[in-house]
Structure 1
Amino acid sequence: MSTAPVRSGTAADLGAVRDRLWQAVRTGDEYAATDVVLDAVRGGIGMESALLELIAPVQARVGTEWAAGRLTVAQEHAVTAVHERVIAALAHHPEGRGEPPWRPRITVACVDGEWHALPARLLAEVLRLRGWHVDFLGAHVPTAHLIAHLHRTGPYAVALSSSLATRLPTAHAAVTAVQAVGVPVLVGGAAFGPGGRYARALGADDWAPGAREAAALLDAGVARPDPLAAHQPVDDLPHLADQEYTMVVRTRTVLVKETLADLEDTYPPMRAYSERQREHTAEDLGHVVDHLGAALYVDDTGLFTGFIEWTAHVLAARGVAARALCPALESLRVRLGDFPRARRILGAAHDALTSRPAAPNVPGSGKSR
């Protein structure tokens, strides 16, 4: 399958090509998807724009479609796999080989536990196009393995990516460990919050909202940290001394189990749940506790409230009342009665839910439970 080349960079042109790319990846047709992108390159869009103005926004649409209940997790993974193949085809295309490496080595990796690797892959390809020598380590890189790699290769800088806020404690440990060997750390991804607020809290050397901004920061130069000035993560976040984060993380399994039991009494519809629905509910409660832990770690109520509001939106798209989350939040608040920060965060999320207007069921969306 071939498509008409893009002959200009107007929004209408790009929009049309994105639509064709979406149709191709949505059906799992990697050959059609590759043709769409390569035809756009032949039409003059440029390799970097193909990565960041075609592939990136179409990939972002995947999350939107999943949240609306129009894609399954399996379909989401299939689309991502097609995009990976398209990026590989671009990298081997004559116009995609970029400049021979004349800039220093950069290590690009996802933090331990972060499986959403495509944003990091896009950054790696942009840096290659701009002449950097890039080591792309991919998803879920344990910090110990990352540090061993740095000792072997001595890069100019490390770019760390994370999409999930629940990975912030791990990201913090990685930032601190990398700086301890004298390598500066640039971070990016949705995990680091609006405007990179958590990047600063975790002591990263810099933050970028996207690949072009990250490349510009590296072009401008990044100061190398002094290994002798290395510090512990708690130095950046003195509120961790209250041990609330530590206790919530350590008792996660118990909190989920006891909250699940409470819901059987306080949320009557749950009594009719099948075993599979109960398992899904337990998974959801695990995510709630994990995000509570992340909010405690950075001491930001908005992190947890934002997650709960997003979860409510997803539930509503599947025909489940958002206020079904309220009994779980209240149960956790009672069980964490000795933790004032946790109670404050849970209370704010509960208030945000109860002030939401009731949303009508989405026709045909089905139930998530």
Structure 2
Amino acid sequence: MSTSPAHSAPDRPDPFGEAELRCAAEKLWEAVSCGDEYAAYGVVLGAHDEGADGESLLLDVIGTVQRRVGEEWAANRMSVAREHAATAVNDRVIAALAARRTPATGRGRAGRITVACVDGEWHALPARLLAEVLRLRGWHVDHLGAQVSTAHLIGHVHRTGPDAVALSGSLATRLPAAHAALTSCQAVGVPVLVGGAAFGDDGRYARLLGADAWAPDGRAAADLLARGPLEPPLTGRQPVDDLPHLVDQEYTMVRRDSSRLVRAALAGLEGPLPAVRSSGDRRRPHTAEDLGHIVDFLVVALYMDCEELFTRFLTWTAGILTARGVPGAFLTPALDVLGTELKEFPRAGRLINHARQALNDSAVRAARSGSGVLR
């Protein structure tokens, strides 16, 4: 679950105002951006001593800083290593803040909930933030962490009998796994709340997958759960009931063929991009990795039957490459190769054509503005 900017809840005391929270967030950013764990402890625990409540520190300070970490990485102002270090510091600060919580006599009074990341999802901090907020609000929380397989999740649900499961996902490529997890939970009568960037800015993919509830951020999720128990789900649903287009088998066949498609796309780029022919070219492994992501997003777009999902990823990738000074000229030729390879698949062809047009339109706009998004 992602986090949101500060806002006042009518029944939540706010002894530490928004200005102070913004100041604490700026100080925490200075600490985590250079990996200074002890300074980070000082900022958050010091603010707690001065009257900031735990929920605000979790969501409006630590959560705000973590979003900034992601933005700085995307803009190529923070390396992957620094991004990982900053995230690790934030995770340890959460633990230090949680250690200050006095065990409440009413622990579990709100009910029991399982919080987990979708199988294959390694962005665990949003789920951790939600788990701590729910604990502060009186829930008995079983936080299972990152990359929880559906089998392990269901085994845990059978053992503990939670009132609900909260699933977190940041990567849209994990939506099929999320669908399997939530339908499995619902099959045993446990409702599922989902959140995170993977489910769309407005929860559109949560609705398509039949989730019982969706929340845009951690505070909204906690507020939703506080209003009362989620309705028990209807049992007996299958993925194809939510996504009837899956009967055409395009998703299954393209997914099985994904490795070959990546190799074909890489080979097909050797003509328009001679540098790709050189096995010694340092960009070749990165190009192959980028092609793998493109095919992965094509596969999940087929699963969801959503043009926007695939197109947004391609235009986002173009921006990321531009920020890193890497030519994005391979994107359109790669789509051409994939279109040829998948000419017998009408839905895949539609997705590819839509993305190709969006990239071309983006290139035209960039050329007119002189910014050069695709070079």
Query: Structure 2 CA distance, aligned partners of 1:85 and 1:44?
Result: 21
Question: Could you report, residue by residue, the CA deviation over 1:148-168 in whole angstroms, capped at 9, with x for unpaired residues?
Answer: 101110000000010000000
Aligned to 1:365: none
Residue 351 of structure 1, aligned match among 336, 357, 360: 357
5+ residue gaps, structure 2? 1-13
Query: Structure 2 CA distance, aligned partners of 1:66 and 1:96?
Result: 37
Aligned residues, how many? Answer: 354
Query: Structure 2 CA distance, aligned partners of 1:115 and 1:216?
Result: 25
Query: Structure 2 CA distance, aligned partners of 1:294 and 1:98?
Result: 45
Residue 236 of structure 1, aligned match among 226, 235, 242: 242
Query: Structure 1 CA distance, aligned partners of 2:329 and 2:284?
Result: 18
Residue 222 of structure 1, aligned match among 216, 222, 230: 230
Q: Which moved more, 1:114-123 or 1:261-270?
A: 261-270
- Residue 17 of structure 2 is aligned to residue 9 of structure 1: yes
Query: Structure 1 CA distance, aligned partners of 2:98 and 2:292?
Result: 39
- Residue 314 of structure 2 is aligned to residue 308 of structure 1: yes
Query: Structure 1 CA distance, aligned partners of 2:337 and 2:220?
Result: 43
Question: Could you report, residue by residue, the CA deviation over 1:306-345 in whole angstroms, capped at 9, with x for unpaired residues?
Answer: 1111100100001123343111111111111111111111
Query: Structure 2 CA distance, aligned partners of 1:36 and 1:171?
Result: 36
Offset at residue 93 of structure 1 (A): 1.2
Aligned to 1:317: 323
Q: Which moved more, 1:117-126 or 1:317-326?
A: 317-326
Letter aligned with residue 231 of structure 2: A
Alignment of 1:244-323 (within 5 A): 244-271=250-277, 274-323=280-329
Aligned to 1:142: 149
Offset at residue 95 of structure 1 (A): 6.5
Offset at residue 78 of structure 1 (A): 1.0
Q: Residues 112 and 142 of structure 1 are in contact (CA less than 8 Å); yes or no, is this contact kept in structure 2? A: yes
Q: Residues 99 and 128 of structure 1 are in contact (CA less than 8 Å); yes or no, is this contact kept in structure 2? A: no
Aligned to 2:83: 76
SS at match of 2:194: strand
Quickly say closer, same or farther: Cα 1:298–1:94, change in 2 above 3 A.
Answer: closer
Offset at residue 92 of structure 1 (A): 0.7
Residue 159 of structure 2, aligned match among 152, 165, 172: 152
Q: Residues 102 and 132 of structure 1 are in contact (CA less than 8 Å); yes or no, is this contact kept in structure 2? A: yes
Offset at residue 361 of structure 1 (A): 7.4
Q: Residues 90 and 96 of structure 1 are in contact (CA less than 8 Å); yes or no, is this contact kept in structure 2? A: no
Offset at residue 8 of structure 1 (A): 4.4
Offset at residue 352 of structure 1 (A): 1.2
Query: Structure 2 CA distance, aligned partners of 1:271 and 1:137?
Result: 45
Q: Which has the higher contact order (CA 8 A, sep 6+)?
A: 2
Aligned to 2:215: 208
Aligned to 1:24: 31
Query: Structure 2 CA distance, aligned partners of 1:321 and 1:95?
Result: 54
Letter aligned with residue 268 of structure 2: D
Quickly say closer, same or farther: Cα 1:267–1:291, change in 2 above 3 A.
Answer: same
Q: Which moved more, 1:352-361 or 1:112-121?
A: 352-361
5+ residue gaps, structure 1? 1-5, 363-369
- Residue 131 of structure 2 is aligned to residue 106 of structure 1: no
Letter aligned with residue 115 of structure 1: W
- Residue 347 of structure 2 is aligned to residue 341 of structure 1: yes
Tell me the TM-score normalised to structure 1 length.
0.91
Letter aligned with residue 19 of structure 1: E
Aligned to 2:92: 85
Aligned to 2:5: none
Aligned to 1:366: none
Q: Residues 183 and 238 of structure 2 are in contact (CA less than 8 Å); yes or no, is this contact kept in structure 1? A: yes
Aligned to 2:178: 171
Query: Structure 2 CA distance, aligned partners of 1:120 and 1:299?
Result: 27
Offset at residue 102 of structure 1 (A): 1.6
Q: Residues 266 and 327 of structure 1 are in contact (CA less than 8 Å); yes or no, is this contact kept in structure 2? A: yes
Letter aligned with residue 118 of structure 2: V
Query: Structure 2 CA distance, aligned partners of 1:96 and 1:52?
Result: 21
Residue 122 of structure 1, aligned match among 129, 134, 138: 129
Question: Could you report, residue by residue, the CA deviation over 1:244-265 in whole angstroms, capped at 9, with x for unpaired residues?
Answer: 1111100000000011000011
CA RMSD of aligned residues (A): 1.9
- Residue 189 of structure 2 is aligned to residue 196 of structure 1: no
- Residue 32 of structure 2 is aligned to residue 39 of structure 1: no
